[in-house]
């Protein structure tokens, strides 16, 4: 079974440029997460989707970040314009619907991440 797929793996851009990251979750996983991981830190939630609905976007900097999950499968995270401080790894994760007990097992399935460098 394929895991969570993210692209691109690496991206280098200049500040003020836009960037987009794509995520394909594990088939059948209704819940999709975007996390930000700074060097030497744990993942921090940016946004969580239940199917197409963003149910928790309280930590998403909405002035420059946007996300979408059309048709409740793939998702895209966009930054426009990028700032130097956005350099980090952007992790996508998926899980079964927590209300069905999937995430109660504590299993988030992560992709390998998209490493962003803003110059």
Partner 1 sequence: QKEVEQDPGPLSVPEGAIVSLNCTYSNSAFQYFMWYRQYSRKGPELLMYTYSSGNKEDGRFTAQVDKSSKYISLFIRDSQPSDSATYLCAKYNFNKFYFGSGTKLNVKP
Q: What are phi and psi of 102, to 5 degrees?
A: -60, -55
State which residue, 48 or 69, has the beta carbon closest to partner 1. 48
Site mask, partner 1, residues 48-67, x = CB under 8 A? x------xx-----------
Q: Dihedral of the CA atoms 107, 43, 22, 10 (nearest 10)?
A: -120
Specify whether the CB–CB gap between 112 and 9 falls below 8 A: yes
Q: Give min distance, CB of 81 to partner 1, in A.
A: 26
Query: Contacts with partner 1 in 86-115 (CB under 8 A)?
Result: 91, 93, 98, 103-108, 110-113, 115
Cα of first residue to Cα of last residue in the chain, in angstroms, is 37
Site residues (CB under 8 A) for partner 1?
4, 33, 40-45, 48, 55-56, 91, 93, 98, 103-108, 110-113, 115
């Amino acid at each position: 079974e394929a895991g969570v797929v993210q692209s691109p793996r690496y991206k280098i851009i200049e500040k003020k440029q836009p960037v987009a990251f794509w995520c394909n979750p594990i088939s059948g996983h209704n819940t999709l997460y975007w996390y930000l991981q700074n060097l030497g830190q744990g993942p921090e939630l940016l946004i969580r989707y239940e199917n197409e609905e963003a149910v928790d976007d309280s930590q998403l900097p909405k002035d420059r970040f946007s996300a979408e999950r059309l048709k409740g499968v793939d998702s895209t995270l966009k930054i426009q314009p990028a700032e130097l401080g956005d350099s980090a790894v952007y992790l996508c994760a998926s899980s079964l619907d927590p209300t069905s007990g999937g995430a109660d097992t504590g299993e988030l399935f992560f992709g390998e991440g998209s490493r962003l460098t803003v110059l």
